[in-house]
Amino acid sequence: MEIKDIRNQTGLTQKEFAERFGIPVKTLQHWEAGESKPAPYLLHLIAMSFPQNKENMRKIETDYSVFYYDSNERAVYDEAGTKILLRIDITHVRENNLGLYLKSLFEDYYKAQEQFETECGFDEKDDIIWENL
């Protein structure tokens, strides 16, 4: 599989895809144009970060989002390929409700990730030692 095929399957723009993997946009453009190629192991790692067989997964659509549920892994993916492992089986949850739950789950996940990164950024700048109470 080519890098452009992988990116097209994700629905991400070149800029979004490049940012997600820390690839300079120009490098990605050269790869997609066939002017150069990524190392095979890198291509494999990128491909493995996205759901492989979407056709074998349950597709859950909302008005603005698409999610995929892999019942074998008990994992859900968003369109960007972010994977969240679940502790429960969601096969019997009503489709409409499930879309709303997943939208909320991923929004909360990205907010928590942003907060974590912000706090770690403060830690780099400030000399603060936190203690458990």
Q: Where are the domains of the chain?
A: 3-48, 54-125
Query: Rg for the chain (alpha carbons), in Å?
Result: 18
* Topology of the domain comprising 3-48: 434 Repressor (Amino-terminal Domain) (1.10.260)
CB atoms within 10 A of CB 131: 4
- Edge to edge, the sheet with strand 58-61 lists 58-61, 66-70, 75-77, 83-85
Report the pLDDT value the prediction gives residue 28, as an integer from 0 to 100.
94
pLDDT digits 0-9 by tens, 16-37: 889 988 999 999 999 999 999 9
Q: Which of 59, 54, 57 is nearest to 70 (CA)?
A: 57
Report the pLDDT value the prediction gives residue 1, as an integer from 0 to 100.
75
> Residue 9: which pLDDT band, with cuts at 50, 70 and 90?
confident
> Residue 98: which pLDDT band, with cuts at 50, 70 and 90?
very high
